[in-house]
Every structure is written in structure tokens, then in C-alpha cells.
Amino acid sequence: MTPADRPALILGARSGIARGIAAALAKRGHPLMLAARRAGELDSDVSDLSIRYNCTVTAHEFDVLDLDGHAGFLDSLPATPSIIICAIGVLGDQERDAGDAQATKLVVDSNYLAPCLFLEQAASRMAQSGGGSIVAIGSVAGDRGRAKNYVYGSAKAGFATYISGLRQKYAGSDLHVMTVKPGFVRTAMTEGMDLPGPLTSDAEPFAERVVSAMEKGRQVYSDLRWRALMAVITHLPERIFMKTKF
């Protein structure tokens, strides 16, 4: 089966990481279905990717928080996806969200509940139609709760656990489920943040590495620098961790 026979659905397609992955997949010849809220803002992406890589690209309105609309959205697609990239996420504001029930709910629903429910349905359909790949974008923020982002981090922790279970559920089948755990990536989401240069990746090179890992059948992908750093952070004894400023 060639890439032209393996259409890719990209959820959260307006994000920087998603745009990078879209370009990496288009370069390989995969037809693309870009899905996001305010899908009209994807018109320039559709035009650019289709012209630059000579592939089929369509845009689709999608709100993951519309839980009752998940099945209908999948039914409406022009093709059953062979690849799904889930790049949906809301960073939120820690100080505000920790004391605001609705803001916290939005972060948890957007990063955990709604994407999990959607991918459960999608995985079942993909498994029944011949398999494929699901790539779920998580975050190293879920590796250990930290004062700076524990609302977002806890949601990503739940998401990672869910995807791990989904991966085991389909182990041995033709459905490959991969978790991606980025650290800092230069995107609109991180714009204005004081990012540590040595630990920060640009979106397009990061996306290329993610797609390459998917093609190799990796189960979990994370930047080597962050893998090493988070291994230290997650293994620190609690009494020491409480004194750190990570």
C-alpha cells in the first residue's frame, strides 16, 4: 500500500505541531483531512500543501468537545483514515484554572476526556477496516505534577495512561498506537513564553521526527533531551522534589 492509499486525519490542525506533521505527511504523498474548529482558517494550509506537495487536502469543521457529534464527524469524512494525528490541546492558565471550575473543566475536557472518547470510536473503526496508525500528542508535563502547570499536566497524564491502555488493547493487531511526549516546541501555544533554547525544538524538524518514528512502529516518542531530563525529575524523592523549581 502506497502513501497515496493511506489518508491521514489531523485533529487540531491549526496548531503548530499539527501543521508541521501535515507537511511531513504531505511530503510523503498522504492525502490529508485537516480538522479543527474554525476550519475556514485552514484555507491557506489546504492551498499551500496541495500545491507544494501535489496531494489531496481537505478541511473539516470539528469540535472535539461536541461529544455527541464524534460519530457523525467520522461518518462525514471523504475517506476512512489510515492515520490519525491527535494534536488537540488547551494549555490554559495555571493560576486562573486552579481556582475556576469551568476553566479547569475546559482544560481537562480538551486534553483528556474528549480526545479519549473520540479516539476510542476511531480506533474501533480503523481496526475493523484494516488498521493503520494513531499518533496521540501528549506532553512531558504529564510525567510529574509541578506547581507551574499541574492542571494541564494532570490532564495530559490521564491522556497518556488512556493511550497506553488503547495501545495494549490493539497490540498484535494491525492498528499501531503511538504516544508522543513533546517538551518545548516553538508554536503559537508557546509564543511569549521564556523558552530554554537548548531544550526547545522547532515545529517542522520535531514533526519530521514524529512521522519517522510512526513509520518505524515506535510505541512512544519523546525528544532525547527531555527523556533524560524527565527521567531525573520523575525519580527524585518527594522530599527533594518539593524543594526544586522545575
Spatial neighbors of 53 by CB under 8 A, at least 6 apart, are: 23, 26, 27, 29
Spatial neighbors of 182 by CB under 8 A, at least 6 apart, are: 17, 137, 138, 139, 140, 201, 206, 222, 223, 226
Location of C-alpha cell 513564553? 193
C-alpha cell at 110: 480538551
Specify the DSSP class assigned to residue 5.
G
* 53 flagged as catalytic: no
| Of 121, 104, 112, 16, nearest in space to 70 by CA | 121
Question: Annotated catalytic residue: which of 53, 112, 150, 152?
Answer: 152
d(CA 84, CA 78): 14
CA 139 to chain centre: 9
Report, as residue numbers or ranges, the catalytic residues: 152
